[in-house]
């Protein structure tokens, strides 16, 4: 039987290299996270609404009213930051609910011409998901009644997150709570 330690050590080294690539990507995201909030059109609107949001419960009607007032800033923010599921959209036909990933005027299935844009978490990559998760956790710390597990439950419905990904997010909560 041939000794495989050399091959195993090569494999271990390669895994380290791959993890280092992910770490560098995450460090880059950490350094640039939400930088768009520091400039127009986001800064002025976030300056106005961030104190108001602090006293609201995530997902409440009051919270949603604040978001409605922030629409201009949020549209820009989501377009500029891929760690938000809203950065990625699909266009759902209002007639037959067919999904389109490019702009269309008429549904190929039912001929309907009205569509609703929906956030699409499935277009995100793993780096996006890690930044998103860390963002959600940090956001809970800004609310007096913030709770990452409740946020995950609300966002599961909001973004149609699968049971499997929801379980992975919940399994990760303890890492950030240590």
CA angle centred on 90, ends 150 and 155, rounded to 5° = 0
Summarize pLDDT for 74-127 with one digit per residue, the tens: 999 999 999 999 999 999 999 999 999 999 999 999 999 999 999 999 999 999
Summarize pLDDT for 147-176 with one digit per residue, the tens: 999 999 999 999 999 999 999 999 999 998
pLDDT reported for residue 145: 87
- Strand spans (E) along 39-163: 89-93, 99-100, 115-119
Sign of CA dihedral 146, 65, 73, 120: positive
Summarize pLDDT for 18-44 with one digit per residue, the tens: 999 999 999 999 999 999 999 999 999
Q: How far is CA 32 from CA 6, 29, 62, 120, in A?
A: 39, 5, 30, 23
> pTM score, two decimals?
0.89
Distance CA 116, CA 112 (A): 12
Work out the mean pLDDT of the chain and round it to a whole number: 96
> Which residues on neighbouring strands pair with residue 91, listed in sequence order?
100, 117
- DSSP for 138-175? HHHTTSTT--HHHHHHHHHHHTT--HHHHHHHHHHHHH
Spatial CA neighbour of 22 closest among 130, 134, 175: 130
Distance CA 141, CA 175 (A): 16
């Amino acid at each position: 039987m041939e000794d495989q330690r050399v091959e195993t050590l090569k494999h271990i080294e390669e895994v380290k290299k791959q993890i280092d690539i992910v770490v560098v990507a995450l460090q880059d995201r950490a350094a640039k996270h939400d930088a768009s909030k520091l400039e127009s059109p986001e800064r002025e609107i976030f300056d106005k609404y961030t104190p108001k949001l602090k006293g609201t419960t995530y997902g409440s009607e009051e919270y949603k009213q604040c978001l409605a007032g922030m629409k201009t800033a949020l549209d820009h923010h989501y377009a500029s930051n891929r760690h938000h599921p809203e950065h990625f959209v699909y266009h759902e036909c209002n007639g037959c609910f067919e999904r389109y990933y490019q702009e269309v005027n008429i549904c190929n299935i039912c001929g309907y011409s009205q569509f609703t844009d929906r956030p699409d978490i499935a277009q995100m990559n793993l780096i996006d998901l890690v930044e998103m998760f860390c963002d959600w956790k940090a956001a809970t710390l800004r609310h007096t009644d913030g709770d990452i597990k409740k946020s995950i439950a609300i966002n599961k419905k909001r973004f149609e997150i699968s049971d499997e990904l929801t379980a992975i997010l919940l399994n990760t909560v303890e890492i950030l709570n240590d």
